[in-house]
Amino acid sequence: MISEREQAELRSVAHALADAARIATLRHFRKAGLTAETKEDTHFDPVTIADKECEAAMRAILAERRPQDGILGEEMGSKPSDSGLIWVLDPIDGTRGYLSGTPTWGVLIALSDETGPVYGLIDQPFIAERFEGGFGQAEVNGPLGRMPLKTRAARPLSEAILFTTFPEIGTTTEAAAFKRVAQHSRLVRYGTDCYAYALVAAGQIDLVIEAGLQAYDVQAPIAVIKAAGGVVTDWQGRPAHQGGQILAAANATLHAEAMALLNPAP
C-alpha cells in the first residue's frame, strides 16, 4: 500500500519527468535535418535522437529522486526495482508522427507495482496538454485549462467513435476482427497513437482497438483511462498491461459489445 505522502512524492516525480521530457522532445521537433534510424529490418520502426535524449533525461531524474525504483524504458531497457515499484517510460509514443510534424505523439509515464499500472501521465509537449490518472486524480491540464477527466456514457456501438493507429492492424486474423467492430461503428479514425487513449479518458471518443503493443505503449494509457471511468483489457477481457492486443473502452457496455465482435462464437 502506497501512503498518501508517498503518492504525493511520486506524482511530483512523474510531473518532473514530464517537464524534462517536454524540453528534450521540443528541442528537435519540427527542426530541419531531423533524421531517424530504424530498429527493425523488415519495416520502418523509427528512433530519433529526441527519443534517446528524452529517456536519458527522465532516467537522470529517477536516479536522483527514486534510485530504489525500477525502470522499464523503450530505448534503454530495464533496471531492477528494490522498492517493488517500476517506472514504465515511452519517451516518444508515435515517433512516426513526431517525424511528420503532427502534434499527436506523446510522452508516456506510468508507475506500476506487482498488479500493474497504478498511476500514469500522457503528455503532449507541443500543445502543452497533460492527462493524469491514478492516486485519486483524473484530470487534464492544457490550453483549455484544468478539467476533470470522465469517459463517455454508454451508447450503442452504432453511435460510437473508434480509433486505431494503423488501418492494417496486426495479423490478417486481427485485422478481420477489427473490421467487424469498425463496420458496426459510426466513425473510425486512424493514426493518433497514444493521443487516442487520452481522448477516451477525456470523453471525446468511445473505443481504441490495437494489437502488437508493448508494455511501455499501454501502461500509462491504462492508468489514465481507468481513473477516468473506462475499461482497458486485452481482446479476451484479461489484464493488458504487458501489451499485445488492447481494447480500451469508455464504459463496460461498449467494451462488452466490442469484445463480442472481436471474438465471435463458433
User: What region, left, alpha or beta, does residue 258 occupy, with left being phi > 0 and alpha being psi -120 to 50 degrees?
Assistant: alpha
Set out the domains of the chain in order of their start, with CATH numbers.
4-148 (3.30.540.10), 157-262 (3.40.190.80)
Full-model pTM: 0.96
C-alpha cell at 217: 505503449
Determine the Cα–Cα distance for residues 246 and 211; give it in Å rounded to an integer.
6
Q: Closest Cα partner for 251 from 231, 232, 223, 234?
A: 231
Determine the Cα–Cα distance for residues 211 and 57; give it in Å rounded to an integer.
29
Q: What are phi and psi of 4, to 5 degrees?
A: -60, -35
**pLDDT of the chain along its 266 residues, tens only?**
899 999 999 999 999 999 999 999 999 999 988 988 886 666 677 899 999 999 999 999 999 999 999 999 999 989 999 999 999 999 999 999 999 999 999 999 999 999 999 999 999 999 999 999 999 999 999 999 999 999 999 999 999 999 999 888 999 999 999 999 999 999 999 999 999 999 999 999 999 999 999 999 999 999 999 999 999 999 999 999 999 999 999 999 999 999 999 998 77
96 neighbors 102 (Cβ within 8 angstroms): no
Q: What are phi and psi of 109, to 5 degrees?
A: -130, 120
Amino acid at residue number 107: V
Determine the Cα–Cα distance for residues 228 and 219; give it in Å rounded to an integer.
14
Buried b (16+ CB within 10 A) or exposed e, 163-174: bbbeeebbeeeb
Determine the Cα–Cα distance for residues 124 and 21; give it in Å rounded to an integer.
10
113 neighbors 192 (Cβ within 8 angstroms): no
Amino acid 41: pLDDT: 67
